Amino acid sequence: FRRLRIRWERRDDIHEAFLGLATCLITHRHVQRFC
């Protein structure tokens, strides 16, 4: 069970990082359009 928990935690971290990159790219594109 501990190993499974560690795997899920790592996946959550990767998921959060992926969402962060996606939001940064979207906001960057919007900023370029307004500027």
Higher pLDDT, 5 or 33: 33
SS3 35: coil
How is residue 5 annotated by DSSP?
H
In whole angstroms, give the CA distance from residue 3 to residue 35. 48
CA distance 19 to 33: 21
| Token pair in block for residue 17 | 């990082």
* pLDDT at position 17: 92
| 7: its two tokens | 């795997």
pLDDT at 4 over 80: no
